[in-house]
Amino acid sequence: RVRPNKVSARWARYQAKAELLFVLPTEDNKNPQDPKNTKQAITAASGSKAAFSYFVPPTGQHNPNPSELLTSQATLKASYRGLSFGTCVIAPRGGPGFCKFQTIPFPKMLPDELQGLEKLVCFFLDQTDYVSPVKNNGPLMGGWMWACGWRKSSKKEGFGRYCLAAAYQEANEWIATHLQELAPRAFKEYCETLIKGNLPSMAHMEYPTPYNMFDFASFFTFTMHNFFNGPHQDTNANTWTLVSWIPIFNPKTSNPDDPILADNGFNMIGGQFTFRDFQVYIELNKVMSEKMLNAVVAYIEGQTKVAGQKQQVEYAQNHIAKQNSKKS
């Protein structure tokens, strides 16, 4: 007995199952094992931007060198697969996806989207004027991390007192919109966790405040100065987490008219986001902004010092103001 397209149908089922956790369920994709539902499921999962899948084979579903506390570059080169472009879902072969990421080169971004990213960088750097770096992060092995929002405020009276409400709301909308575009099902689960737990949104200056369509998380963290953690397991209420890497220029060598985002001349050593039990990593040594589901972090990669952050904010805001004046 010969079944035409047997192999292609099997890989299509793998792809549909891998992407299922990232898309909203419909009547057509409730059973991805049913061949008649495969095409609809893939179409719904891909959305407006085509996605490809990387299936980890059974032989690669283990840590090849568990004795290493931090995976060495030699081990990565010998045993791991690196991914660095496009929109990709990573999944064990025949299983559900555990990561979806999207790379966006700055030259391909629309002007409004590029400016929105610049303003987001300004928003993060502004927080360093009022929030001290986290000092009780057990897994921390290098760099600095800031935690802002309701859950991680040092005092309940502190949050909201020094916050620019419009800036928090704009940042919340920007992050929520991009998460919803990348993985609508993950965004929906975020919102449900927030509402069912009766938790405040990071865009709320007072509690309680009515929710809107963009409210999905209570806090955020961002890191700089070659930040990295040791192996650890988070205990957040959400199943999914969002990470964004945004390369920026060094403020100590920047001029007021220089770009904010490092769209050229960007260099980083050892920039890999590694899944040790699946022998795969996302390569960050590229000129791009990346978004991925795996820790609610906005990662700003730069060599800036604390003393230089206020200057960087002023330069960035002046740059945005000049762009706005040119449009008007």
Residue-level pLDDT, tens digit, the chain, 328 residues: 667 788 889 999 999 999 888 889 874 444 544 444 434 333 333 344 678 899 999 999 999 999 998 888 899 999 999 988 788 899 999 998 888 888 887 777 888 988 888 899 889 888 888 788 888 777 788 888 888 888 654 455 455 556 688 999 999 999 999 889 888 988 999 999 999 999 999 999 888 999 999 999 998 889 887 788 777 777 777 778 888 888 877 655 677 777 777 766 565 666 788 888 899 998 876 534 433 332 222 222 222 222 233 344 454 456 556 666 666 6
Distance in angstroms between the alpha carbons of the first and the last residue of the chain: 70
Q: Do 139 and 272 fall into the same domain?
A: yes
**Considering the domain boundaries, does residue 89 fall inside one?**
no
CA distance linking residue 172 with residue 240, whole number of Å: 17
Helices (H) and strands (E) in the chain, counts: 7, 11
Q: Do 188 and 297 fall into the same domain?
A: yes
Report the DSSP pairing between strands 242-247 and 289-293: antiparallel
Structure tokens at 62: 């283990």
Range of the domain at 13: 1-47
Q: Do 38 and 160 fall into the same domain?
A: no
**Considering the domain boundaries, does residue 69 fall inside one?**
no
Q: Do 26 and 146 fall into the same domain?
A: no
Q: Do 42 and 170 fall into the same domain?
A: no
CB distance 215 to 191 below 8 Å: yes
3-state SS, residue 282: strand
**Considering the domain boundaries, does residue 235 fall inside one?**
yes
HSE (CB half, 13 Å, CA atoms) of 5? 5
**Considering the domain boundaries, does residue 57 fall inside one?**
no
Q: Do 174 and 40 fall into the same domain?
A: no
Q: How much is the pTM?
A: 0.79
CA distance linking residue 213 with residue 69, whole number of Å: 41
Domains in the chain, number: 2
Q: Do 149 and 259 fall into the same domain?
A: yes
Q: Do 2 and 129 fall into the same domain?
A: no
